[in-house]
């Protein structure tokens, strides 16, 4: 359920496409990589490295966000974060966002303005700009974001480079967004820190280029769950991964929330998505950068195990399942 809009609030149909575009782009500051921003047929973005990293995600109301759970600004920040994290997971520096937004004609213009404000805010956190996009009418509110990045002289860190003997490390929060989703699903709005992790993820953008500089052999954005996403590295690299639970960080706040809900905080950490931490493999423990924490090793075989055994529950989120 959406919250009721204020009385006398104008809608996107009343403001019009071009009026709305003017509202959401006026007075915005762009980073140096934006050579030509919104307002022309296409944008121009600098690529000092000569290679452009590109990633796209689509967020659908009712599937990826709810406006009775999150403010429009939080939805916008989340839409930007999930894409910018993918760029960082390649070891790249985020440079720009392109936004596609579809919504019903009776959508309050304040909702769209709030979403775009959040997009601009999160882009600025990552050092990127919002350089263009499109708005169309639709029966459902949908946000499509394409993120661009620059490799800054490093080779892209793919999912296929992990080697037996590497160590596995993560940077960023794990399990917090899953805990927040569980709290919201029970009809609660606190504790704020846990609920806020679901509404507004905080990917460690700088950790991607940091891992590239440290010689990471493989890397991925943890969007669907740690075990599920490490499974992609295991499959693409042709190796196995073992996670050690004694090395996982389970924050006391998560333990408290899980206890109150009758849930398992460790399960959130292992399988919860939407925190957008980064997980990577490094050739030796000494190569793991500051701010990262080692959680396991790369082994012979395939798949992902926990303490040497298969995990009995679903490893994370998967669409159409």
Asked if residue 49 belongs to a known ligand binding site, the reply is no
Asked if residue 134 belongs to a known ligand binding site, the reply is yes
C-alpha 162/C-alpha 136 separation (Å) is 42
Reading the block at residue 97, the tokens are 């966002």
Asked if residue 64 belongs to a known ligand binding site, the reply is yes
CA distances from 231 to 178, 237, 286, 299 (A): 19, 10, 24, 13
Asked if residue 251 belongs to a known ligand binding site, the reply is no
Asked if residue 292 belongs to a known ligand binding site, the reply is no
Asked if residue 159 belongs to a known ligand binding site, the reply is yes
Asked if residue 106 belongs to a known ligand binding site, the reply is no
Asked if residue 166 belongs to a known ligand binding site, the reply is no
Asked if residue 56 belongs to a known ligand binding site, the reply is yes
CA distances from 81 to 171, 198, 244 (A): 15, 12, 28
Reading the block at residue 112, the tokens are 């769209």
Secondary structure of the chain: what % helix, strand, coil (to 5)? 35, 25, 40
As beta bridge partners, residue 65 has 61
Asked if residue 137 belongs to a known ligand binding site, the reply is no
Classify residue 188 as exposed, middle or buried by CB count within 10 Å of its CB (0-12, 13-18, 19+): middle
Please enumerate, by residue number, every residue annotated as part of a binding site for Mg(2+).
41, 55-57, 86, 134, 221, 224
Binding residues for ATP: 133-134, 159, 223
Binding positions for substrate are 64, 274, 317
């Amino acid at each position: 359920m959406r919250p009721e809009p204020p009385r006398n609030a104008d809608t996107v149909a009343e403001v019009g496409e071009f009026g709305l575009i003017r509202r959401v782009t006026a007075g915005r500051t762009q980073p140096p990589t934006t050579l030509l921003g919104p307002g022309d047929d296409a944008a121009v973005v600098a690529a000092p490295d000569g290679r452009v990293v590109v990633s796209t995600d689509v967020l659908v109301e009712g599937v990826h966000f709810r406006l009775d759970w999150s403010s429009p600004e939080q939805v916008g920040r989340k839409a930007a974060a999930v894409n910018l994290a993918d760029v960082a997971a390649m070891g790249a520096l985020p440079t720009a966002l392109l936004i596609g937004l579809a919504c019903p004609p009776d959508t309050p213009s304040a909702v769209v303005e709030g979403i775009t404000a959040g997009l601009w805010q999160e882009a600025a956190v990552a050092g990127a700009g919002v350089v263009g996009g499109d708005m169309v009418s639709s029966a459902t509110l949908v946000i499509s974001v394409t993120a661009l990045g620059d490799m800054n002289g490093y080779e892209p860190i793919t999912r296929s480079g992990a080697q037996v003997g590497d160590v596995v490390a993560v940077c960023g929060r794990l399990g917090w967004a899953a805990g927040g989703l569980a709290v919201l699903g029970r009809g609660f709005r606190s504790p704020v820190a846990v609920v806020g992790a679901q509404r507004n993820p905080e990917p460690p953008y700088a950790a991607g280029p940091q891992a590239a500089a440290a010689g990471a052999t493989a890397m991925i954005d943890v969007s669907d769950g740690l075990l599920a996403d490490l499974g992609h590295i295991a499959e693409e690299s042709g190796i196995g991964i073992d996670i050690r639970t004694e090395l996982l960080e389970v924050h006391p706040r998560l333990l408290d929330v899980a206890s109150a809900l009758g849930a398992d905080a460790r399960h959130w950490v292992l399988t919860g998505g939407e925190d957008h931490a980064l997980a990577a493999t490094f050739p030796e423990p000494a190569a793991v950068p500051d701010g990262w924490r080692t959680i396991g090793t790369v082994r012979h075989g395939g798949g992902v195990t926990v303490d040497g055994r298969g995990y009995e529950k679903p490893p994370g989120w998967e669409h159409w399942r």
